[in-house]
Structure 1
């Protein structure tokens, strides 16, 4: 629930024969201790540059009871080398939820243009619950338990329910006293503690993927503290969080159709069909065949569900064509195609295709950095579910609702619909401690989006832009990656982002630009 601001009584003036006096104001509430702390900076590591500094702050577990238990919050910085041009601080979140970012200023420092870089101290942090910020655990999780859910089949649904319940039970047993407070709203409050500790009136911010939602929530909770905010690869606030998993399914369908057209135009090379319909039929025959007789490559078996388990594959027509051509040859001849490269299957190999009976990892999830280790060391999975399940009470609690939805969506969205709507641990999670953040306050932020982003698809990015009144959007047509700014030297969006971070002036209108095709 929302915190209630203290009400200040209005003291009237009393008419007397004495000169008129101003009534005394009610004493201001003392600033809480967690908003008065100062970081004790030190070199992060002897193996890293001396300019890369780290510190640890203390933040309340429960901001409704700030005098209670505290959590560590690990922060880092690389200061501007040009104090005369310094404007303030730029905080960074790469996504997740559950991705540590203490080390990320090192990459930003190397990638940002100097005229923009000079204006900011770059600030990284490990969000609460992960990395060096009081990591939570769900105990050792199996490979299956690290996924986000599997394909729906009536005969295996009981196993899917058991998988979801087991994760929720493990997390509750190991970290149940902390998990209810690992939420986006509390992480936004942590950002404001960082702001205060740095002695800044406002913060600027660069957030990718989940980081866009965190930035949007901060802009609503602390609108007077938000300076220049860039939200790249947007999460639609209206879809949190079940809808953000389901959008992978709805948007995989137009991506699949685009791929079939692309592959058909290059049928002489890929041999998947001369028309989009033929390419589609080739894929679905391969799925059916692999379900009957899994395709084997270097000892790794691929079922039909495995071929559907990462819909992000189809957002890259070249990658999808190479992978399906490779699998088709293996299925038909037992050998790779002539000239086929083993890395063609990398999109299907990366990340465990696990969780439930027929499961997948989060499609195209951010590649882990050096701080993202196993769950025992404060990995991403416990924080992922804590946020996704704990931000909102919109998850169904009846397992049969998931079965009905998954059966329906397997027909409506055949590539990934049943994966997206199948049961998740949220069905058995603890109830949220507060409601999601309404997007009602004007937010003059810059949203950035690739047309064919596979993880936060265009529909999601447009939803974020629509939700934030006053925002502007930069759309990169032909863009296929998850993440726009600084992710591709050829991106047409970087110039607009650099101009905004450098001047604070939003474009007068939304900007649409065109990236060059990634492959001919």
Structure 2
């Protein structure tokens, strides 16, 4: 959600439309005379999807206003897909799904999620996916960015800060030159409005929802804007709405340090197997000596590249998965000593379309991004001192410092009593436990199931877990746990 400076007339118009949308009872699509009524009455043309491989996998396009403040103006297309419920008799409704991002394509989610859902859930819901506005097959946008410009995080170095500033400025300039007429309208709030339009077009009074990662924030915004239209809401790996979005970037650093400390203790207990140190302090010293050495002489990797110390630090998210990250650190240490090349860092660069939408949303959802580059410099230095592993990566300058105008609407304050189920791994590097707890506080009617010791980003999307029982019960019956739960995978 993005961008422009709101003018008084535009804000009033947007506020009036939003008030109408929110005030409607769930028994009606849109009120008589509402300018969105014509969109709700459109007839969908369902066709077999070209991707996915299932005969029952259907796709269609929904027309939506580019600017909800001007519903009679320019339109865009929202690509949607579905796999119908397994039982017409047991069908409860639609389960709309979003895979996160922002900027990730969700059209294939029904096919991807179907094997992960129990039969009881499949019987009750049409699984509906969609590419959010600006993404994939939904009137996509792009910025023609280089690979370096498409990377979302860069380490702070005093000598390179001028280059960092120019890179951030270049991304903003390119995006606005290529898609400045559309970017102001690619926002979380507008995507939530699209979701409600899809609900109306499908003939549903209320809609259930499954959101993952950024999709949890999108789902929370939907519940805030359309509480009476929200049915059974599941948020997998949740973000704290109050941190959107600069706070999210900086919040990763805190979680990284916690995961790193846990890893040093784990590796020390297994010094006989890995040889990284017999105490947590020794393991920590081994790691930072490796980073320092790689800063002088980059470590060769099997993809033909070499990793300097900052590149090794950029893999900080791997520390939540202790059994997987430890052999990588061992191989880096051996390669630095002249042994075989080590595996490289998993690529962190996304495609141009996703990057364009990512910055449209991150920069346009909120007006909290500093405009002064020196503020980013100070924050990067301070955060690196407090959180050595990744502090500067989350605080360094971003394109939002140079976005052409502020957000059209204020950031959404999520604070409601809508029922929702939050499922969360204890050790998640991206939607951290603290962030999920922030979401829990914002959604007073929610319950949270924490997987103690759970590692990685995603619970339901990762396959079977101890949270499955609560997840299935909620979607099939609408009943949340009586209280927040903690469980352990066996």
Normalising by structure 2, what TM-score? Answer: 0.92
Q: Which structure 1 residue ranges, 5 or more long, are not aligned?
A: 9-26, 337-341, 353-360, 362-373
Please tell me whether the aligned partners of residues 112 and 486 of structure 1 are also in contact (alpha carbons under 8 angstroms): no
Structure 1 stretch 314-323 or stretch 402-411: which is displaced more? 314-323
Please tell me whether the aligned partners of residues 248 and 311 of structure 1 are also in contact (alpha carbons under 8 angstroms): no
1:100-499 aligned within 5 A? 100-139=105-144, 141-298=145-302, 299-335=304-340, 345=343, 348-352=345-349, 374-375=351-352, 379-430=353-404, 431-489=406-464, 491-499=465-473
- 1:97 and 2:102 equivalent? yes
Q: Which structure 2 residue ranges, 5 or more long, are not aligned?
A: 1-10, 21-30
1:3 alignment partner in structure 2: 15
Secondary structure of the residue that 1:478 maps to in structure 2? strand
CA shift, 1:335, in A, is 2.8
**Per-residue displacement from partner, 1:359-379 (whole Å, max 9, x unpaired)?**
xx7xxxxxxxxxxxx43xxx2
Aligned residues: 465
- 1:77 and 2:89 equivalent? no
Secondary structure of the residue that 2:277 maps to in structure 1? coil
Please tell me whether the aligned partners of residues 52 and 111 of structure 2 are also in contact (alpha carbons under 8 angstroms): no
Please tell me whether the aligned partners of residues 259 and 314 of structure 1 are also in contact (alpha carbons under 8 angstroms): yes
CA shift, 1:333, in A, is 2.8
Secondary structure of the residue that 1:437 maps to in structure 2? coil
**Per-residue displacement from partner, 1:236-263 (whole Å, max 9, x unpaired)?**
0000001111111111011000000000
CA shift, 1:488, in A, is 2.7
Secondary structure of the residue that 2:71 maps to in structure 1? coil
**Per-residue displacement from partner, 1:247-296 (whole Å, max 9, x unpaired)?**
11111011000000000000011110000000000000000000011111
CA–CA separation in structure 1 for the residues paired with 2:205 and 2:151: 41
> Relative to structure 1, is the Cα distance of residues 426 and 499 closer, same or farther in structure 2, using a 3 angstrom cutoff?
same
Given candidates 53, 56, 71, the residue that maps to 2:58 is: 53
1:357 alignment partner in structure 2: none
Please tell me whether the aligned partners of residues 287 and 305 of structure 1 are also in contact (alpha carbons under 8 angstroms): yes
Stretches of 4+ moved more than 6 A in 1? 5-8
Normalising by structure 1, what TM-score? Answer: 0.87
CA shift, 1:442, in A, is 1.3
CA shift, 1:511, in A, is 0.9
Secondary structure of the residue that 1:414 maps to in structure 2? coil
**Per-residue displacement from partner, 1:125-144 (whole Å, max 9, x unpaired)?**
000001000000102x2110
CA–CA separation in structure 1 for the residues paired with 2:291 and 2:137: 43
1:14-33 aligned within 5 A? 28-30=32-34, 32-33=37-38
**Per-residue displacement from partner, 1:193-247 (whole Å, max 9, x unpaired)?**
1000100000000000000000000001000000000011001000000111111
CA–CA separation in structure 2 for the residues paired with 1:488 and 1:194: 28
> Relative to structure 1, is the Cα distance of residues 205 and 484 closer, same or farther in structure 2, using a 3 angstrom cutoff?
same
Secondary structure of the residue that 2:54 maps to in structure 1? coil
CA–CA separation in structure 2 for the residues paired with 1:500 and 1:98: 28
1:24 alignment partner in structure 2: none
Secondary structure of the residue that 1:201 maps to in structure 2? coil
CA shift, 1:46, in A, is 8.0
CA shift, 1:109, in A, is 2.0
CA–CA separation in structure 2 for the residues paired with 1:179 and 1:238: 23
Secondary structure of the residue that 1:4 maps to in structure 2? helix
Which has the larger helix fraction? 2
Secondary structure of the residue that 2:360 maps to in structure 1? helix
Secondary structure of the residue that 1:72 maps to in structure 2? strand
Secondary structure of the residue that 1:68 maps to in structure 2? coil
CA–CA separation in structure 2 for the residues paired with 1:284 and 1:275: 14
Please tell me whether the aligned partners of residues 38 and 198 of structure 1 are also in contact (alpha carbons under 8 angstroms): no
> Relative to structure 1, is the Cα distance of residues 5 and 434 closer, same or farther in structure 2, using a 3 angstrom cutoff?
closer
CA–CA separation in structure 1 for the residues paired with 2:148 and 2:327: 27
Secondary structure of the residue that 2:15 maps to in structure 1? coil
CA–CA separation in structure 2 for the residues paired with 1:6 and 1:208: 25
CA shift, 1:486, in A, is 4.3
Please tell me whether the aligned partners of residues 486 and 494 of structure 1 are also in contact (alpha carbons under 8 angstroms): no
CA–CA separation in structure 1 for the residues paired with 2:337 and 2:259: 26
CA–CA separation in structure 2 for the residues paired with 1:327 and 1:292: 14
2:4 alignment partner in structure 1: none
2:69 alignment partner in structure 1: 64
**Per-residue displacement from partner, 1:455-513 (whole Å, max 9, x unpaired)?**
11101111001111111001000110211014132x11111101100100011100110
CA shift, 1:45, in A, is 2.2
